[in-house]
Amino acid sequence: MIELTKSSAARMDCLSSMIHLRRKNILNIENYLKQHGENLSPERVVQIEKDLADMRLGLHNMETDYRSIAGAPYTDKRNS
């Protein structure tokens, strides 16, 4: 069994909040692109898609950090 220190628990809480916000931002941008993509220049669409890819990579890294601290995958406990 993994025993968390106060600093580890605080870091997990911070990462949990960041993961939640990152997922929400990704969904918002994906929805924006679906709704307004045809009105944007092709260059702008490409830039938004690149930004989304970078955000997904950042999300993956945050989830990996969370897993390394918690010893278990991230699960959103806010709606539980």
DSSP line for 10-76: HHHHHHHHHHHHHHHHHHHHHHHHHHHGGGS-HHHHHHHHHHHHHHHHHHHHHHHHHHHHHSS----
Name the pTM for this structure.
0.79
Higher pLDDT, 66 or 39: 39
The CA-based angle 5-6-7, given to 5 degrees, is 90
Break the chain into its structural domains and give their ranges: 20-70
pLDDT digits (tens, 9 = 90+) for 66-78: 888 888 777 776 5
Q: Which amino acid is at 21?
A: L
Quick one: tokens of 29? 């941008």
pLDDT band at 48 (very low <50, low <70, confident <90, very high): very high
- Across the range 42-46, mean pLDDT stands at 97
